[in-house]
Structure 1
Amino acid sequence: MKFKSLYIKLLLSFLGVLFITEILILGLFISTAGRSFRHYIDKQSIAKLLILKEVAQEKIDKTPLIPLSQNNEIKKLLYTFSDLFNIKIWVTAPDKTILIKTFPTPIDIPVKKLKKHDVLKDGIKLYHLSRRHLKYYAQIPIEADRKIHTLHIYLHTGHEKKPEAIFLFGLLSIGIIIAILIVPLTKIITNRIKQLNQSSLEFADGNLSCRTDIKGHDEIAELGNSFNLMADKLEKMIQGNKELTTNISHELRSPLTRIRVSKELILDKLNPIGDKNIRRYLQNIDQDIDILDDLIDKILKLSKMDLQESPLSVEQLDFKLLLTDLEKKYELSLKQKNLILQKDINGVLILNTDKNIVTSILSNLIDNAIKYTKNSGTIQITAFKPEDAILTFKITNTYRKLDPRELENLFEPFYRIKNNKNPGSGLGLSIVKKQLKLCNGKIIAENSQTGLTFEVQFSNQKIPY
């Protein structure tokens, strides 16, 4: 399972390291302090067993003629030890017959655990019955009536607090506290990274004045400072380039105007029946002036959009009426190339946006379609309202199939299709794309069965590019 969130990754990493650390600490404790504790308990148990054996044997030796089952002194001794150390004691004859028992309940020694034992001094056998609790069983040989009897000791402390358990509880408590403290620490790290990421996205979206404010002196703060430094330099470079483009475009208008005036003066000086070649040359100059004037106008429009100098003027528009007005404007151009304009508009389509921008978008696309459609071709415009958008319209004109790279580059500034002889600057579609971005719209170019299709979508929400 892959986690995309850095917060989750950091939190799980911290918790994983904490868990492994606690396991290693617990293992180290059990293998050192815990083992020492068990060794200390064993030494105490062995000492007690040896003392009991010696005292019991001494009592038996003092009254050798009294049978062991009737020896009140030995019974008193065993009951005293039983009460003093909270243990169960009983004595069996060589034939396993119980002679003395200090408790009323049945003997419940787990037989399965009596396989491994330690043989101690004087033949004493010691069985450890549990690792978790202080629980053991011992067999002590004693001599009575010239026979070897067995003194049985059974100790079970049940809920005795051992250092391993106490240490484990303390370790878990510390682990929980550290885990709780890790959560806000991880949040602090990821929130600062999210802040930097948000600033980067705003800057990439065109807000060149956006800066991040990450406090501190660590690596993330240094990264934030580096981002701000980069943003400052990029803003200066971009603003400088845009201003330079705008200034150059404005300056070009003056010599063009002078050339146009000079051309008019030359025409006035020519005789009505003057040299036809001169008039033809002057006509070519006039066409070139128009092309340059249109190019400068588009460059200025791009610069203004980049500099965000033109705020939107939102109003309610009827798309069908807007398209009808534009159709009248291009009626002569359509007739000159014998083009058929087909419209398929479903219902009343209303837009709340800037009329000038939408008019410019439609004009650019229709002009582009007329320019690149061969004589007697067809231009088709369809418009409808989808469920997830305000309005979608498509403009399709008969044209050859473009490869994916050509489709991708259509919206790049100054890009022109290879072997294209039509006049133009290659800025129209770039302007359309920027204008649609201002209106929360986008444009897609694709090949269709009838030619080249441009699909435009207007949305309520901002569309990422």
Structure 2
Amino acid sequence: MSTPLTQRLYLRIWLAVVATVVILTLLFSWLWRQEAERERAQRPGREIVLRNASGDIIGQAVMRPGRLPGQSGFEFEVPTRDGQTLFVQLPRPNRPPPMMAPPWWRPPFDFVWLLGLVALAVALGAYPIVRRLTKRLEALQQGVERWGEGDLARRLPEDGRDEVAFLAQRFNIAAARVQALLQSQKALLANASHELRSPLTRIRMGLELMGEHSSATAREEIARNIHELDQLIDEILLASRLEASPIDIGTLEPVDLVGLCAEECAQTGAEFEVPAGCTSLLVPGVAKLLRRVVRNLLENARRHTAGDISLSLQRSSQQVTIRVCDRGPGVPPAQRERIFEPFYRLPGASERDGGVGLGLALVKSITARHGGNVRCEDRPGGGACFVVELPTST
């Protein structure tokens, strides 16, 4: 997911530095001008003394000079002792006019240009420092996102000795621990599942050796328990493989859902509906996994209803929909998300109803691996419908 330019951390820090320098420059410039005007106002005036030819003082005053109207120089207004006022002018000598600065460099534009040069210098100097820091933060962000998406072997660079490096180091330690725990859990499930197959085999052999003298009820109960354990092991193994990388479950290839669903419906006695004139519906996937999806949905429907079960296929421009419906008690709206959790049973369900609580969880996992989704809906007239949507291309 790309971040908008206005939300990039390095740009916001850089603009904050530049804006701070600009504001400080304007503030100090205003204070400097205020101080210069105050100093000029407090500067004492010049004392002007007028004498006649005899050396007598005819006028004396302390005055501030004024500008000569229409020319360069200064003018002093000095009152005499006889009540008259004399004007003393000090024009500047005629010199060749200095070279005029271009209009864009004359006041007040010269201050604007000076301020711009200062801001540009600060911006060029601050950008590499800010960008270097935020690049490390972006590397942390990308690494955490990759790790969160399932790449548990992802580690962050630990360059430097500051807070960013410390954060990366602590994250790497935590990620290594999580990865080790998950690998240990998968190994335990796989080993336990394989170890359970040996006693199951011995139970089968003992059951066959019991002969006809054993109780039929006991034999049936043992057989049911063996079947349930065998089903649990198969589903645990499949769930473990689905948590691995996609290459561990096979390569996607075109799968004909019409033929696959027809075979599973024939085994369970479910009614099969397909669009008129449709002889095949191809989706990319793994045939054995998609067969497991259809089988689990049909077995789940048969487990919760003694009535009719129907499976229908529908195709749109971009997906194929598998809909398995029954006439059972249905699923309360509050439970329609939780029934896809591993080992979850509806309130009131017992172990004798069959199932180990992994069937619908596997349906959701396999469907998600194929880029689709699954949901539970009400069936008109009573019952439940499980809807699986698979894309026609990946």
Aligned pairs (5 A) from 1:84-233? 122=62, 140-141=77-78, 147-148=84-85, 169-233=113-177
Please say if 1:437 is aligned against 2:368.
yes
Q: How far does the alpha carbon of each residue in 1:216-262 deviate from its partner, in whole angstroms, 9 at most, with x for none?
A: 22222222221211111111111111111111111111111101110
Partners of 1:346 and 1:11 lie apart in 2 by 60
- What displacement does 1:327 show? 2.1
Quick check: 300-309 or 340-349, which moved more? 340-349
Q: Aligned partners of 2:185 and 2:161: how far apart in 1? A: 34
Structure 2: distance between partners of 1:417 and 1:282: 29
2:63/2:77 contact within 8 Å kept: yes
Cα distance change on mapping 1:426 and 1:41 into 2, 3 Å? same
Say which SS state the counterpart of residue 381 (structure 1) adopts.
Answer: strand
Partner residue, 2:95: none
After superposition, the Cα gap between the structure-2 partners of 1:328 and 1:448, relative to the gap in structure 1 and judged at 3 Å, is closer
- Tell me the residue number matched to 1:81: none
Instruction: For 1:292, give the aligned amino acid.
Output: L
Task: State, as a whole percentage, how many aligned pairs show the same letter.
Answer: 23
Match for residue 297 of structure 1 among 223, 227, 234: 234
Pairwise CA distance, 1:292 = 0.9
* Residue 385 of structure 1: how far off its partner (Å): 2.5
Q: How many angstroms apart in 2 are the aligned matches of 1:382 and 1:226? A: 51
Matching residue's letter, 2:221: N
Question: Which residue, 357, 362, 365 being the options, matches 1:426?
Answer: 357
Unaligned runs of 5+ in 1: 63-120, 128-134, 335-339
Residue 306 of structure 2 contacts residue 328 of structure 2 at CA under 8 Å; is this kept in 1? no
Matches of 2:24 and 2:313, distance apart in 1: 71
Partner of 2:263: 325
Q: Secondary structure at the match of 1:410?
A: helix
CA 1:341/1:137 → structure 2, altered by over 3 Å: closer, same or farther?
A: farther
User: Does structure 1 residue 366 correspond to structure 2 residue 298?
Assistant: yes
Distance 2:83 2:218 in 1: 147
Counterpart of 2:250 in structure 1: which amino acid? L
- CA–CA separation in structure 2 for the residues paired with 1:246 and 1:173: 69
Per the TM alignment, residue 21 of structure 1 is displaced from its structure 2 partner at its CA by 4.3
Structure 1 partner of 2:178: 234
Q: Residues 250-277 of structure 1, C-alpha deviation per residue, up to 9 Å, x if partnerless?
A: 111111110111010012xx3xxx56xx
Per the alignment, do residues 28 and 191 of structure 1 end up closer, same or farther by CA in structure 2, a change over 3 Å counting?
closer
Q: CA RMSD in A?
A: 4.1
Asked if 2 retains the 8 angstrom alpha-carbon contact of 1:313 and 1:355, the reply is no
Q: Which residue of 2 aligns with 1:257?
A: 201
Deviation at 1:183, TM superposition (A): 4.2
Displacement of 1:144: 11
Separation in 2 of the partners of 1:362 and 1:243? 28
Offset of residue 37 of structure 1: 7.2
Residue 281 of structure 1 and its aligned partner are, at CA, apart by 1.0
Match of 1:310 among 238, 248, 253: 248
| Residue 192 of structure 2 is aligned to residue 248 of structure 1 | yes
Find the counterpart in structure 2 of residue 394 from structure 1. Answer: 323
Amino acid at match of 2:148: A
Q: Which residue does 1:452 correspond to in 2?
A: 384
> In terms of mean alpha carbon deviation, does 222-231 or 20-29 score higher?
20-29
Mapping 1:52-67, distance limit 5 Å: none
Distance 2:89 2:255 in 1: 104
Structure 1 position 168, deviation (Å): 6.0
Cα 1:287–1:196 change in 2 (3 A) is: same
Cα offset, 1:22, TM superposition? 3.5
* One-letter identity of the residue aligned with 2:227: D
Deviating more after overlay: 186-195 vs 135-144: 135-144
**Larger radius of gyration between Structure 1 and Structure 2:** 1
Contact 2:339 2:360 in 1 (8 A): yes
Matched residue type, 1:354: V
Instruction: Measure how far apart 1:406 and its partner are.
Output: 1.6
Which residues of structure 2 form unaligned runs of 5+? 54-60, 93-97
Q: Note the C-alpha offset of 1:212.
A: 2.3
Name the amino acid aligned to 1:454: F
1:18-47 superposed Cα distances (whole Å, 9 cap, x missing partner): 424432344234424762477359859x54
Residue identity opposite 1:394 in structure 2: R
After TM superposition, the score normalised by the length of structure 2 is: 0.76
**Matched-pair contact (CA < 8 Å) for 2:320–2:389:** yes
* Cross-structure match for 2:284: 352
Encode CA deviations 1:27-71: one digit per residue, 9 max, x unaligned.
Answer: 234424762477359859x54xx6xx65xx66xx56xxxxxxxxx
Contact 2:284 2:393 in 1 (8 A): no
Distance 1:416 1:138, change over 3 A: farther
Aligned to 2:222: 285
How many residues end up aligned between the 2 structures?
Answer: 370
Q: TM-score, normalised on structure 1?
A: 0.66
Residues 298 and 124 of structure 1: CA distance in aligned 2, closer, same or farther (over 3 Å): closer
Paired residues of 2:327 and 2:384 also in contact (CA < 8 A): yes
CA 240–285 in structure 1, closer or farther in 2 if over 3 Å, else same: same
Contact 1:346 1:383 in 2 (8 A): no
Residues 1:172 and 1:224: Cα distance change in structure 2 (over 3 Å): same
Of stretches 289-298 and 195-204 in structure 1, the one that deviates more from structure 2 is 195-204
Distance 1:313 1:296 in 2: 24
Whether 1:408 and 2:337 are equivalent positions in the alignment is yes
Supply the AA of the counterpart residue of 2:259.
Answer: L
